[in-house]
Amino acid sequence: MISFNLICKKDHEFEGWFQNSADFDKQAKKHLIECPICGDAHIEKSLMAPSVGTKGEVRSTRVEKAEQAKQLRKMLGEVRDYVETNFDDVGDQFPDEARKIYFGESEERPIFGNASEEEARDLAEEGVPVGRLPWPKQTDS
């Protein structure tokens, strides 16, 4: 995993984690990365200072990052639990139902479900306010 400092067109800065640099490029090109502050999908890498240190510092940083990743997975699991408990699961009908809600053809309510990258891009281009969430696998722990 690699961390990048990112910036949107409105100069909001935030951090993003990616499998590698090519993964960021691919997601940014498809406008799959959104600013957590304003929702803008025109994201670029921001300037970053390199992280250089002694072996002990590097080891300590790895431990800290591993702990942060563990905490992030836990929080994402909590988000998943909240969504599954409080939102309607519309499954593969998500794009159609999101449009119906947006255009007032269906009751307004929180929903979640499945959408392909193309369907998500189409919804965003139509102005339908949706977001993609990292959806961690459920565990028994």
**Quick one: pLDDT at residue 50?**
58
Helices (H) and strands (E) in the chain, counts: 4, 5
- 9 occurs within a structural domain: yes
Q: Angle, nearest 10°, between helix axes 117-126 and 94-102? A: 10
Q: What is the DSSP string of 94-124?
A: HHHHHHHHHTTSS----EEE---HHHHHHHH
- 134 occurs within a structural domain: no
138 confidence band (pLDDT: 50, 70, 90): low
State the residue range of the domain holding 8.
2-45
- 69 occurs within a structural domain: yes
89 confidence band (pLDDT: 50, 70, 90): very high
- 16 occurs within a structural domain: yes
- 135 occurs within a structural domain: no
Q: How many domains does the chain have?
A: 3
**Quick one: pLDDT at residue 141?**
46
- 74 occurs within a structural domain: yes
- 138 occurs within a structural domain: no
Residue that terminates a domain, selected from 86, 105, 136: 86
- 132 occurs within a structural domain: no
Q: Which residues contact 44 (CB under 8 A, 6 or more apart)?
A: 6, 7, 28
Q: Which residues contact 91 (CB under 8 A, 6 or more apart)?
A: 113, 114
**Quick one: pLDDT at residue 67?**
84
H or E element in which residue 91 lies: strand 88-91
